[in-house]
């Protein structure tokens, strides 16, 4: 080998080593700060502790679900009360809808919900339920609301019209007696599973700025959907809440192109820490389905419209949010207070979607009784 060939060989080896080192560094930086258990840990990878147990909450086979009041000042079941006990905590929640589902007094299925067990609909919303398939269909049409729905985001409130399938254990008669079942100090993991299908999305409308509140945040129609778990802090040694609440959200669709780009990059859409909600402190911490290695639920117009199967391991992500937003706080003092899946729309938007076979699985670190 000539001296020139030796030098070229040395350069080639050095270049190859630098390339490998660069790839390793890029891989490290991509996953830096990501904790095991947040992104793609499957149920099969989790071993139930010797002193623990497993509890599953699935959507039961009943004719209909209780409907939550749309009055945000009243936290109660407004209609379908006859199903409250049998629902095992599963309800349909509405927020800011100007025409509540409870205005439909007849649960007979309509032609648009073939073979459904029950159906409630108004001018602005619809709920269909198939008990054997454990499936619900929900839709909201803000364009049919007052001023085409262009004022719910006034005075700095970015929230819109909401329709959820929710698990609300607070409606269970034994929830407060069996509080230890839901305290995070007794829980190893929390898995949620469901199938989600976007049936129709319309976000083309834009509000006339002259006809909305001058403090309105958005004028364009917005559609996004997410799965949200709620956790409330309990003062140690008591049953009193501290007023600190966490909304841990996993975004599975947003019609806005910029947000879709962020989802595909695995970026947080937003992190809101210590948002003052009257006298309370609320943390909103949002991950995306992409961070869990799972796809966006595209609507038909994007080449989607089919069911997407989701599974999320909630607990590690929620604990990471506590650390980032609140610092050195014991996650064990928080209680798991609910879970919901659904849509939030703004300003003349329309969204119709279906959820099938929702399930929550809690793996306990010890048997709470």
Report the range of poorest mean pLDDT among 15-29, 119-133, 158-172: 15-29
Q: What angle do CA 134, 184, 193 make, to 5 degrees?
A: 25
Q: What average pLDDT does range 354-359 have in this prediction?
A: 98
pLDDT higher than threshold 70 for residue 314: yes
- Is residue 312 a contact partner of residue 191, using CB atoms and an 8 Å limit? yes
pLDDT higher than threshold 60 for residue 161: yes
- Is residue 152 a contact partner of residue 96, using CB atoms and an 8 Å limit? yes
With 0-12 / 13-18 / 19 or more C-beta atoms within 10 angstroms meaning exposed / middle / buried, residue 153 is buried
Q: What average pLDDT does range 262-278 have in this prediction?
A: 72
> Considering the chain, what is the average pLDDT of its residues?
84
SS3 366: coil
The pTM of this model reads 0.85
- Is residue 59 a contact partner of residue 359, using CB atoms and an 8 Å limit? yes
| Region of residue 177 (phi > 0: left; psi between -120 and 50: alpha; otherwise: beta) | alpha
CA distance 298 to 255: 9
Q: Nearest CA to 136 among 162, 111, 169, 164?
A: 164
Q: What is the pLDDT of residue 44?
A: 84
Q: What are phi and psi of 292, to 5 degrees?
A: -95, 5
For the chain, domains (ranges, CATH) are 48-364 (2.60.120)
Q: What average pLDDT does range 312-337 have in this prediction?
A: 86
SS3 341: strand
Q: What is the pLDDT of residue 95?
A: 85
CA distance 289 to 227: 10
Q: DSSP states of 313-340 as a string?
A: EHHHHHHHHHHHHH-S--GGGEEEEEEE
pLDDT higher than threshold 80 for residue 79: yes
With 0-12 / 13-18 / 19 or more C-beta atoms within 10 angstroms meaning exposed / middle / buried, residue 363 is buried
Q: What average pLDDT does range 272-280 have in this prediction?
A: 65
Q: What is the pLDDT of residues 325-342, one digit of tens each?
A: 777 788 899 999 999 999
Q: Residues with Cβ < 8 Å from 27, sequence gap 6 or more?
A: none
CA distance 169 to 335: 11
The separation between CA 304 and the C-alpha centre of its own chain, rounded to angstroms, equals 20
Q: Nearest CA to 345 among 222, 260, 196, 258?
A: 222
Q: What is the pLDDT of residues 10-38, one digit of tens each?
A: 766 766 666 655 555 444 434 444 444 45
CA distance 26 to 338: 38
- Is residue 253 a contact partner of residue 225, using CB atoms and an 8 Å limit? yes
Residue 278: pLDDT band with limits 50, 70, 90: low
CA distance 204 to 349: 7
């Amino acid at each position: 080998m000539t001296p020139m060939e030796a030098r070229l060989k040395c350069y080639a080896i050095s270049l190859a080593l630098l390339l490998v080192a660069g790839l390793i560094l890029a891989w490290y930086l991509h996953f830096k700060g990501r904790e095991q258990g947040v992104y793609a840990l499957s149920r099969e990878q989790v071993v139930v502790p010797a002193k623990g147990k497993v509890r599953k909450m699935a959507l039961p086979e009943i004719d209909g679900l209780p409907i939550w009041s749309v009055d945000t000042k009243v936290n109660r079941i407004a209609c379908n009360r006859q199903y409250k006990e049998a629902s095992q905590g599963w309800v349909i929640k509405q927020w800011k809808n100007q025409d509540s589902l409870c205005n439909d007094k007849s649960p007979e299925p309509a032609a648009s919900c073939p073979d459904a067990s029950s159906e409630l609909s108004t001018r602005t919303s619809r709920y269909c339920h198939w008990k054997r398939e454990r499936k619900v269909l929900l839709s909201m049409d803000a364009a049919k609301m007052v001023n085409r729905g262009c004022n719910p985001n006034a005075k700095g409130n970015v929230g819109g019209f909401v329709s959820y399938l929710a698990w609300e254990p607070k409606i269970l008669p034994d929830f407060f007696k069996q509080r230890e079942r839901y305290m995070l100090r007794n829980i190893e993991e929390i898995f949620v599973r469901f199938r989600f299908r976007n049936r129709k999305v319309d976000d083309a409308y834009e509000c006339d700025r002259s006809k909305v509140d001058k403090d309105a945040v958005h004028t364009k129609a917005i559609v996004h959907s997410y799965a949200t778990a709620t956790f409330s802090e309990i003062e140690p040694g008591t049953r009193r809440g501290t007023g600190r609440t966490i909304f841990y959200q996993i975004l599975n669709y947003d019609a806005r192109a910029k947000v879709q780009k962020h989802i595909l990059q695995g970026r947080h859409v937003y992190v809101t820490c210590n948002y003052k909600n009257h006298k309370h402190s609320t943390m909103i911490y949002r991950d995306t389905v992409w961070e869990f290695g799972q796809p966006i639920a595209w609507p038909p117009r994007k080449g989607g419209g089919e069911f997407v199967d989701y599974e999320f391991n909630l607990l590690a992500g929620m604990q990471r949010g506590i650390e980032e937003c609140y610092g050195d706080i014991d996650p064990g003092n928080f209680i798991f207070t609910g879970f919901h899946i659904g849509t939030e729309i703004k300003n003349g938007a329309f969204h119709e979607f279906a959820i099938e076979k929702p399930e929550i699985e809690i793996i306990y670190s010890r048997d709470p009784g």
